[in-house]
Every structure is written in C-alpha cells, then in structure tokens.
Structure 1
Amino acid sequence: MLVVPAAMALGAGTFGSRHSRAWGRAGALTAGLGFLGACAMAVQAASGTPASATVAGLVVSADRLAAVLLLLVFGVSSVVQAFAVRYLAGDPRAAWFTVGASLLTSASAGLVTSATLVGLAASWTVAGVALCLLLGMYWHLPAARDGVRRTATAFLIGDLVLWTAVGISTARWGAIDLRTLGADRPDGPLLPVIAGLIVVAALSRSAQIPFHRWLPATLAAPTPVSALLHAGVVNAGGILLVRLAPLVTGELARGLTITAGALTMVYATVIMLVKPDIKGALANSTMAQMGFMILTCGLGLWGATVFHLVAHGFYKATLFLSSGSAIAQRRRAASRPPMPAITARRRALSVAAAVALPAIALYAAVRVIPLTVGDHTAEPALLIFAWATGAAATWGWLARRRSIGAALSAAAVLLPVALAYRALVAAVSGFLAPALPAEAAPAALAWLVTGTACAVLAGLAVLRWMPATVLHRAVYARAISAGHLQMPVLAQPKGVRS
C-alpha cells in the first residue's frame, strides 16, 4: 500500500507521456485496491492485532486510528483519480497528475502509518512536495505559479519547524516510537518548545491563521487537484496533532491551537458567506472546517477531530467534483422567474423553524442512543456541529419551499438522519477509543470556547439574513476586501504566449 503507489508515480513519470489514459486508470485501480486493503486492516485492527511491517528501514503499523485514516486516503484517491481519467482526457498534463496523485497517496499512507517520528516527518515532507507538483500542472498560468509560490512558502516554514522539533526531540530522547509514545511520554523543559513547533507545522499545512493565504491562491489548479487538496492534504495538520498528541498537550501548545482554530473558523466563515464564486467559497469553507478541526485538537476532543476530518474529506471531495454540475444548476435557476420577496414575519418563522427542527431531531436521537461522555467529550461537540449543519440545510430548504408542508417534510427527513448520524458517531467513537489519547482539556473550557464560537457564528448568520443596513453593508465590504488576493505581476515563462 506504500510501495505500489510510489512505483506507479515513477512509472507514469517515465512512460506516461504516450499512454497517459492507461496510466491514469492504473493509478485509480491501485488506489481502489489500497482501499480494500485498508478495509482488511480495519478488521484486523479491531481484533486487537494491528498490522505492521518494515519497508526500506521505515517501520509502519496500522492500528485502529491508522486503518480509519487509510480508508480516507485511499477512498478519496481512488474516486478522484477515476474522475480525472475522463476530466483530463486529451490533456497533455494528464500523466503529470497521475505522478503527483500516486506520490501523494503513498506519502499520505506513510504519514498515517509511520511508527517513528522521523518516518512521519519524512512522509509529511514528501506529501507537501507532491502537492506542489500537482499545483504546478498548468505552470504557464500566472495564477497557478502564484499559488505554488504561496503554498511552497507556507509548507517550507512548516517543514522547517517540524524538522527542528524532530531534531531536538531525537537529540534529547533518541529515536521516538509513536506506538509507545502515550505510555512513555517524554518530559523536560524542552517539551513546550517542541510542542509549539509541532503546532506551527500543523497550522501551516491546514491553512490556519497566520498561514491562511495560500489555500485560496490554489484555485487555478484543475478540479481533481483541488479535490485531493481540500479533501486530503489540509487534513494533515489534524492528523499530525492527533498522532503526536502526547507531545502537544501543554498549556502553550493548547492555547496556540485553540486561538488559531477559533479565529480561522470565524474569519473563513465570514469570507465564505460573501464569496461570489463557487471554488472561492469552497476554499474558505475548507479553511473554516479546518479551523473547527484544529479547535477540537486544542480542546483535546480527539474523537471529534478524527470523525470530522474523515467526514469532511469525503464531503468536500464530492463538492469539488460536482462543482461543474452546481454551476449548471445555478444557471438554470437564474433563468426561472424570481420568487416573491419573503415578508419579515415569514422570514422570522423560517429562521425559528431552521433552528428548532434540527435541535428537536438531535434531542430525540440522543434519547434513543444516549451520549457516551468520556475522556474526549467528542460526541457533544459533534452534536453542536451537526445542529449547525442541520440548521443551514433546513434554512436552505425552507427558503425554496415556504409552507407548513415544507417544514413538516424537513422534520420527517431530519429525524431518521439524526438517528443515523448519532448511531454512526457512537460506532466510530467506540471503534477509535482504544487508539486515541485519553487526555483532554477541562470540560468547562471546551464548552466555553465552543459556545463562544457558536454564538459568534450565529450572530454572523443573523446579520446575513437580516435586511440590508449600514452595519450589514460595512461588514460585507470589509469581508470582500479581506478575502481578496492581490495577484503579483509574474514574468511569463519563455516560449509561452499569454
């Protein structure tokens, strides 16, 4: 599962120029077989005997956490590469995509299975290099070159601080085995410094403040590259923090993680609400979702982190791969007669229904399947996120169908969805519990930060829904300005016409 995708990248780079479509299919097939292998490893890990091996000196092991993350890596890779076979048909750079996607798949698999700190850092760096290669597919476009420059700069900073942490920890404690890190947690005055460096590396890869400018600059990449980036690569920050959780539980690291995650979540949500283009809105949506993921890491809600990054990975890959269909649907909707303006009373009733119906459905689901509030407090955090998502979906439904029947139909759909979601969260949390760190932030802090973030986002939603005012226009204008990227004047490559 690590070697074959890497060999596929080497073969596509050497011989792919003549048979790019065949190599693309082979890359998708390889990722699909890797997904089946991840399923087998999940079954084996559930039995209490995780798979392990040594590849060219790199020790790898697949416990329950690694098996779930491998399902994400190979699942997203197989779907995106299969999509790219048709999307890039006839494109002279199609073989280049197979090279980058296969290399990224191999490095990501190494990132989630490496049993040593050095192996994890090496996989981390290779994954960043593979992404930069993919972002440079259309190097003749100035926007693509600007995206590669911004991404490479952020990744270089993150890689330097991560390798600095690896060097300090190796010099101080020797080679660190991640399989026994929880039981043999190192200690000493250097631990807060190492933890801070690891957090900075995670923030850079997940496009968190102050490294938030590189992700919106990558929109010139083709859709399959964007899907791999937003569904997989940006999750690496959360994966790094989960796998190195015993090293990043100090107050300094926790405060830095909570602050960056909460600020990025609010900032990116505001930008997303005002972005007029689909890919721009999706990019800022990803940034906000990563803010939530990083926030849960800071609060020690490791179960919520893993569940969210896996769910978001498949969800965001679907959104990017279907963005063309969404644009076509929006054009068809624009040609229809506009709906009559909604009255203030009906708007208030719709907002109340959008807020109340998901809450009632989730409450009923919790009554059927009670919460398991343990060391991670993950399930309440995921319920808050599910309520916000359900409220947004219900509001979208009621905005198109303004009737009591529409509200009743929304309630009829929300209840079974809430039950299924609750059952899935309980099953995944129970499966992952033995492989997750036990330490968590105080429950009071978790609820305080989560409640404050929800209150801020609720205020932004109310501001968006209310009629236009001076405050509304001022916030809108500042958000548009904050989300604008100034494109530098880049020199055109030799031999390329503008």
Structure 2
Amino acid sequence: MSPIAPLLTAALLAAVVAALLPDATRHRTPGSLAVWPGVAAAALATLGLAGALADRSDVAGATLALLIVALTVVVQVYASRHLRGDPRSRSFFALSSLAALGSTTAIAADDVVLLAVGWTLATLSTIALIATGGSGPQTRVAVQRSAVALFIGDAALWTAVVVATASTGSISLAALGSLDGVAATLVGALVAVAAVARAGSFPLHGWLPATAATTTPVSALLHAGFVNAGALLLLRFSPVPSAVGPWIAGIAGAVTLLIATLAMLTRADVKGRLVHSTAAQMGFLLLACALGAYGLAFVHVVGHALFKASLFLGAGSAVEHALRARALPRSTPSRAGRVVGALLVVGTAAIALIGSDAFAHPTAVLLLFALTTAAVAGARIGASSARVPTRAALLLTLSIAVVGYVAVVFPGAEALVPVSGTTALPWGVAVAVFVIAVASLLLIRSTGPVSDRIFALALAWGRPPLPAPTPSWAPASAGGPLEYRRV
C-alpha cells in the first residue's frame, strides 16, 4: 500500500464530515464544504501518481485513484450550482465523497478483504446516490434494479474472497497466483461476475439504463468512475490461473458491446443515448481485459471517463444546441468529402502501422475497433458543411491522433500495466465480434424484417418486459413494472 493512501483516506473522510457540517452562510449550497477536503485529496492522489511513475509500481491503480478523486471534485463543484435549493444536496456531497473513499480504498488495498470492503462501500454509497434522484417511479425502478444487480456482484466478490482465503491461507493479493484446480476456476468465475455487474453488462445490464432517471451529477459520477472499476478488479485478480473468468467477462462484454451500440441508436433522449454509449464502452473494456490487454483497457478507461463526464455535465444544454443547429441552413453532405475523409484516415493509419511494431502486439486485433471508429469520424468530417480549410485542419488533427495512438499509445500502454501469466481469450473472438458489429450496424440502417427484428431487440434492451394487459375492472395503474404505469 502506498504511504499516500492513509492520507488520501483521511482527506476523503474529512470531505464526508464537511458535507454534514452546518453551513455558516445561507448563500452556499448545503454540503458543498466537502469540495475543499476533496481538493486536498486530489492533490494527494496526484502525489501518489507521481510516486508510482517514479517507482514504476501500480501506475494503473494510482491513475484510477486520481481519476476518481479529481472527477468527484469537478462534479461536486458543478453540483454546488446545479443542486442549489435541492433539499437532497447535502446527501449528494456526503455520499459522493463516501463513494470515492470506497473506490480509492479498493484501489489501494494489498489484500482481498480490504479490497472487498472498499468495493462494497462504493456499491452502497452509489445505490444511495441513485436514490437521491427523487421519489418518482423511475427512480424507484433504478434503485431496485441497481440494488439487485450490484448486490449480486458484491456477493460474488465476497464469495471469491472466502474461497481464495480458504484455499491459500492468506488474504494477500500476491497469493492469488498459487490457486489451482477448482478453487482457481471458481474464483476466476466469481470475480468475472462481480466485474460484469459493476460494468452494467449482460446479463446484469438492466440497472444501468434505469439510472438515466437520476440527477445529472450522479449520472456523471456513475458513468465517469463507478462503472470503470470492473477493469481494476479483473487486473487485481489477473494472477488467478482460470480460463473460465476471461470467457465470462469476454462473452458478457461482447454481447453488451453489440446490443448496447444498437440500443444507443434507438434512443431519442440525450441521457438515454449516453447511458447506452457507456454500456457499449464497458463491453469493449471487458472484452479488452478478457484478451489480456489491461494497459489498453486502462487508457480507454481514462479517455472514456473524461469524455463521458463532460458530456453528462453538458447534457442540460443539449436542447439549446439542437435548436441552434436546427435554425442554421441545412446543406447536402458531400459524398466525395466523405470518401476522401475516410481514405485519409485509413491511409494515415496504414502508414503508421507499417512503421511500428503494433502488429507484433498480442492484442493488435483491437485496433480494428479503434481504426474503424477513426475512419467513420473522418468520413463525417469530410462530409460536413464546414469550409474546406476547417475540414482539412480537423482531418489533419484526427490523422495525427491516429498516428499517436498506433505508434505510441497502443504499444506503450501495456508497459504501464505489466501483467504476466494471464489466461486470455483467443484473438478470433474479437474478430468475430467486430464482424457481427459491422453487419448489425449495416442491417439496422436498411429495411426489411431482419432490420425490424434487430431494431426491436435494441429498443427493448435494458427495459423491463411489457406488462400483461390490465383487466377492465382494475385501475389503470395496477400491475406491471413502474416504468409502464401511469403516474
């Protein structure tokens, strides 16, 4: 455990206490005093990351700790304005600090028991945070689903801790590599279930879409930090010699990646699209971990957390931006520009691949997803109505980013998170997922019975089944999930 960890814990505990203190002035949002100890915690987490980089020890854990604490502070600063006048504001500040404390405790833990304690503390705090969204039926559905799915994951983790401790006679994470036989298989499977539940992936995916009903600050914390912890759990238990765990995490991630991506296209609401986008990204993260690409997964975690937090915090102005865009004259997309933009990005990526050793990387198959996304982005830039110099500058920036990702980030990511002896899925699984994803996206944009079935599946993803018809003598609000009742 890092020497910074006790100080970080003390700072976050101070933030919880500060949120509960009575305010000396009425001009401040109740509970917002938690921001100042949070800033101190962020400074300590920065020192911890600097020390980890200097010692080349647990860079992933130190990075994730800083990410969680810093994003918590940013969201709390946003909430000090967003929740002004909200009677639940004090609960938000206290619970968000408590959730950060649980997450950082799990990150800094050297033994499986302390890791599980921090993990469960974060779970309980997050469920309580979701409940601060109000007393409406949608919030009640979100709390119920979250409690069921996350408690299943926590129960699986605690069972894995008991099995590992009983089998090795030690609670140390370093002893996990000595597991073998049935104990190793069971621990690997249970940890995979816990990671799948936290990531909101299939078959425990129903809780994450339901959380769109909660407040914007809670959504930002959920999607920027909480759901990403599954990658850390898989990394901590990666020494366990189990082939079952990667298969569970990989298949769950692949199914979620495929269907959540399609579900995102069926949602008309801003937060709904962002929620399904997060689910798809978490599916990719689980798939990357199952393939053994832990370094790449953590680079993905950092980028996703920063990007998704900014999107959720800016969701309130989405309608204003849409109305402003609708008032502008529409122009026909340039087909030639679309082709040129895509070819430019693909060509740049090909040149970068030729000059690098990315193909020698054992998880190079994941470049299929990244480069296809970059090519689509290039096509959209090329087809846009912006002026030619603007499009050229954007395409140049995108091409430079692609070169940097292929030549620097991709091969260098694994050096930051060294993992040895990890059991991983064969690369053919990722190829199959990529082919199915491309085919599904093409089919859903066409017409016909197959497209209709895919659309119906995506539209229903994460929703409860339709209620049975209400008898004529029963009240209109009787029966069925709350999501479908009249209120």
User: Deviation digits for residues 354-380 of structure 1, max 9, x if unmatched?
Assistant: 543322222334456543845xx35x3
Does residue 5 of structure 1 match 2:12? yes
Aligned partners of 1:469 and 1:487: how far apart in 2? 24
Does residue 36 of structure 1 match 2:32? no
Superposition map of 1:133-282 within 5 A: 133-178=128-173, 180-181=174-175, 184-247=177-240, 249-282=241-274
CA gap of 1:276–1:226, structure 2 versus 1, over 3 A, is: same
1:110 matched residue in structure 2: 105
Aligned partners of 2:478 and 2:323: how far apart in 1? 33
State the Cα distance separating 1:30 from its structure 2 match.
Answer: 2.8
Which one-letter code corresponds to 2:345 in the other structure?
P
> Is this contact kept in 1: 2:153–2:193, CA < 8 A?
yes
> Is this contact kept in 2: 1:359–1:387, CA < 8 A?
yes
What SS does structure 2 have at the residue aligned with 1:246? Answer: coil
1:421 matched residue in structure 2: 405
The one of 417, 424, 432 equivalent to 1:452 is 432
CA gap of 1:290–1:258, structure 2 versus 1, over 3 A, is: same
2:306 matched residue in structure 1: 314
> Is this contact kept in 1: 2:247–2:290, CA < 8 A?
yes
> Is this contact kept in 1: 2:246–2:423, CA < 8 A?
no
Which one-letter code corresponds to 2:311 in the other structure?
L
1:84 matched residue in structure 2: 79
Once structures 1 and 2 are overlaid, which stretch shifts more, 327-336 or 146-155?
Answer: 327-336
User: Deviation digits for residues 258-288 of structure 1, max 9, x if unmatched?
Assistant: 2111111001011011111111111111111
State the Cα distance separating 1:337 from its structure 2 match.
Answer: 4.0
Does residue 476 of structure 1 match 2:455? yes
> Is this contact kept in 2: 1:300–1:440, CA < 8 A?
yes
Aligned partners of 1:281 and 1:292: how far apart in 2? 17
What SS does structure 2 have at the residue aligned with 1:15? Answer: coil
Aligned partners of 1:198 and 1:19: how far apart in 2? 47
> Is this contact kept in 2: 1:17–1:95, CA < 8 A?
no
CA gap of 1:14–1:428, structure 2 versus 1, over 3 A, is: farther
What SS does structure 1 have at the residue aligned with 2:182? Answer: coil
Aligned partners of 2:186 and 2:389: how far apart in 1? 58
CA gap of 1:170–1:20, structure 2 versus 1, over 3 A, is: farther
Superposition map of 1:18-57 within 5 A: 21=28, 24-48=31-55
**Structure 2: stretches of 5+ with no match in the other structure:** 1-7, 468-476, 480-486
Aligned partners of 1:181 and 1:308: how far apart in 2? 28
Which one-letter code corresponds to 2:269 in the other structure?
D
1:129 matched residue in structure 2: 124
Does residue 389 of structure 1 match 2:373? yes
Which one-letter code corresponds to 2:144 in the other structure?
R
CA gap of 1:420–1:215, structure 2 versus 1, over 3 A, is: same
> Is this contact kept in 1: 2:246–2:291, CA < 8 A?
yes
The one of 400, 409, 422 equivalent to 1:439 is 422
2:483 matched residue in structure 1: none
User: Deviation digits for residues 429-468 of structure 1, max 9, x if unmatched?
Assistant: 265144x3453536xx22x1222222222223333555x4
> Is this contact kept in 2: 1:231–1:312, CA < 8 A?
yes
State the Cα distance separating 1:327 from its structure 2 match.
Answer: 2.6
Aligned partners of 2:78 and 2:185: how far apart in 1? 44
Aligned partners of 2:429 and 2:286: how far apart in 1? 13
Aligned partners of 2:36 and 2:376: how far apart in 1? 37
> Is this contact kept in 2: 1:307–1:428, CA < 8 A?
no
2:289 matched residue in structure 1: 297
1:359 matched residue in structure 2: 346
> Is this contact kept in 2: 1:12–1:20, CA < 8 A?
no
Aligned partners of 1:487 and 1:88: how far apart in 2? 34
2:474 matched residue in structure 1: none
CA gap of 1:483–1:368, structure 2 versus 1, over 3 A, is: same
The root-mean-square deviation of aligned C-alpha atoms, in Å, is 2.9
Which one-letter code corresponds to 1:209 in the other structure?
F
- Give the share of equivalent positions with the same residue, in percent: 31
State the Cα distance separating 1:49 from its structure 2 match.
Answer: 7.6
What SS does structure 2 have at the residue aligned with 1:219? Answer: helix
What SS does structure 1 have at the residue aligned with 2:213? Answer: coil
> Is this contact kept in 2: 1:28–1:78, CA < 8 A?
yes
Once structures 1 and 2 are overlaid, which stretch shifts more, 209-218 or 416-425?
Answer: 416-425
1:93 matched residue in structure 2: 88
What SS does structure 2 have at the residue aligned with 1:190? Answer: helix
State the Cα distance separating 1:186 from its structure 2 match.
Answer: 2.3
Aligned partners of 1:120 and 1:384: how far apart in 2? 34
1:400 matched residue in structure 2: 384
State the Cα distance separating 1:44 from its structure 2 match.
Answer: 1.6
Once structures 1 and 2 are overlaid, which stretch shifts more, 268-277 or 26-35?
Answer: 26-35
State the Cα distance separating 1:408 from its structure 2 match.
Answer: 4.2
> Is this contact kept in 2: 1:5–1:102, CA < 8 A?
yes
